[in-house]
């Protein structure tokens, strides 16, 4: 998990994180640093190196700026993530 | 909806590409430390090198360009890591760049601020130190050796740190304040300022063997960059006059 083949200038990166949000939801902003659309539908987000497929993107963004949801792959779980595509 | 919960005390997030639930080749990983409520982390592009630091930003900016780095209220403003003569005369200076008094103690947690990188020193808890706006405090490895080599303006507080020395080859000097507690009920420290200095180019090498020191010129700007507005350069200014005998 230490050697990534891309640089942050070329791809989708975790650009901003609000982890201590008080009563409001935490959030993560992803940034597509390329000039071309990248479909992240079905991509995964995780906070565990041993479970990279913890949360799955539920939708493919149709514009550069939107809120999408990530959900656990277990249908009974209610945990979701809000992701901003800037 | 139950929100996706990130840890106040820091963690790592991973983004992984996938097709039909099968992970594919793209990975992106980002680490971040403990944070205070409402303070985001994000990428800041350093104008000197075009490199990036993932740091505390001055404000959250959802779906917009990232705000600039959060700087202060206390910054590391000067470093002399390898003085001529007694090595224990090495020192650095912190400065209150804000317009308010800053007490280096968290009364809620009964915990003092401390250095979390470079050297080991925790500020007083019984008699907490309050820095007034513009106040400078000097920390040194040895007050006798420091006093034998330098003079300071009248009234300047000089503190001797407990353990460690400033690396002559460069390292990260980091100040932290008490922040969230982790699952073990241990206080995690939130970075207030960090300078990863070096004795090699592009950093000036004069502090590695006598001086002048590294002195932050643009004191209210981001400091972990050798040339962002040229905040760090050979002192030759304030401290060559006031400190060096």
DSSP code per residue over chain B: -BPPPPPTT-EEEEEEEEETTEEEEEEEEEEE----TT--EEEEE-TTTS-EEEEEBSS--TTSPPP-B---SEEEEEEE-EESS-GGG-EEEEEE-SSS-EESEETTTTEE-EEEESSBEE--SSS--EEPTT-EEEEES-HHHHHHHB---TT-EEEE-SB----TT--EEEEEEEEEE-TTSPEEEEEEEEEE--SSTTS--TTEEE-PPEEESSTTS--SSSSTTS-EEE--SHHHHHTB-
pTM equals: 0.85
In this prediction, the answer to ipTM > 0.95 reads no
- The alpha-carbon gap from A62 to the nearest alpha carbon of chain B, in Å, equals 14
User: What residue spans define the domains of chain B?
Assistant: 11-56, 74-242
B41-70 confidence digits (pLDDT tens): 999 988 777 788 899 999 999 878 899 999
Least confident of B67-71, B100-104, B200-204, B228-232: B228-232
B141-150 confidence digits (pLDDT tens): 999 999 998 8
Nearest neighbour of A14 by CB, restricted to B18, B30, B65? B30
On average, the pLDDT of chain A sits at: 69
**Residue B185 pLDDT > 80:** yes
> What does the DSSP assignment read for B152-184?
--TT-EEEE-SB----TT--EEEEEEEEEE-TT
Gap between the terminal Cα atoms of chain A: 25
User: Nearest 10 degrees: CA dihedral of B145, B147, B151, B156?
Assistant: 120
Residues of A in contact with B11 (CB under 8 A): 19, 47
- Please report the residues numbered 22 through 81 in chain A whose beta carbons come closer than 8 angstroms to any beta carbon of chain B: 22, 25-31, 40, 42-49, 52-53, 55-56, 65, 70, 73, 78-81
Nearest neighbour of A53 by CB, restricted to B23, B29, B32? B23
Relative to beta strand B22-32, strand B11-19 is antiparallel
Residues of B in contact with A82 (CB under 8 A): 3-4
Residues of B in contact with A12 (CB under 8 A): 15, 26, 28
Question: Number of Cβ pairs closer than 8 Å across A and B?
Answer: 151
Residues of B in contact with A48 (CB under 8 A): 14
- The alpha-carbon gap from B177 to the nearest alpha carbon of chain A, in Å, equals 15
Asked if the Cβ–Cβ distance from A4 to B29 is below 8 Å, we say yes
Nearest neighbour of B8 by CB, restricted to A13, A19, A28? A19
Nearest neighbour of B23 by CB, restricted to A48, A52, A78? A52
- Report DSSP state, residue A42: T
For A17, residues 6+ apart whose C-beta sits below 8 A from its C-beta are A26, A27, A28, A29, B6, B13, B30, B32, B40, B41, B42
């Amino acid at each position: 998990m230490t050697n990534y083949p891309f640089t942050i200038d070329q791809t989708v990166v975790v650009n901003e994180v609000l982890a201590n949000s008080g009563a409001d939801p935490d959030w993560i902003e992803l940034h597509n640093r390329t000039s071309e659309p990248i479909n992240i539908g079905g991509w995964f987000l995780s906070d565990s190196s041993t479970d990279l497929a913890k949360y799955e993107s539920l939708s493919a963004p149709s514009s550069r700026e939107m809120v999408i949801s990530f959900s656990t792959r277990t249908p009974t779980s209610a945990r979701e993530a809000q992701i901003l595509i800037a | 909806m139950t929100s996706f919960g990130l840890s106040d005390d820091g963690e790592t997030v991973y983004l992984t590409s996938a097709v039909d639930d099968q992970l594919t080749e793209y990975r992106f990983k980002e680490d971040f430390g403990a944070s205070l409520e409402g303070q985001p982390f994000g990428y800041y592009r350093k104008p000197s090198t075009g490199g990036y630091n993932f740091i505390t930003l001055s404000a959250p900016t959802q779906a917009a360009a990232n705000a600039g780095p959060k700087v202060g209220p206390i910054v590391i403003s000067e470093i002399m890591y390898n003085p001529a003569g007694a090595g224990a005369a090495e020192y650095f200076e912190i400065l209150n760049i804000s317009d308010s008094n800053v007490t280096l103690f968290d009364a809620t947690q009964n915990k003092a601020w401390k250095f979390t990188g470079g050297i080991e020193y925790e500020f007083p808890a019984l008699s907490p130190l309050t820095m007034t706006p513009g106040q400078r405090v000097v920390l040194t490895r040895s007050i006798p050796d420091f006093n034998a080599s330098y003079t300071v303006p009248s009234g300047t507080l000089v503190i001797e740190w407990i353990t460690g020395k400033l690396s002559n080859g460069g390292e990260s000097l980091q100040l932290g304040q008490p922040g969230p507690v982790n699952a073990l009920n241990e206080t995690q420290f939130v970075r207030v300022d960090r300078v990863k200095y070096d004795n090699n180019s592009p950093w000036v090498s004069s502090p590695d063997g006598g001086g002048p020191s590294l002195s932050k010129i643009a004191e209210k700007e981001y400091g972990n960059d050798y040339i962002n507005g040229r905040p760090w350069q050979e002192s030759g200014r304030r401290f060559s006059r006031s400190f060096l005998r």
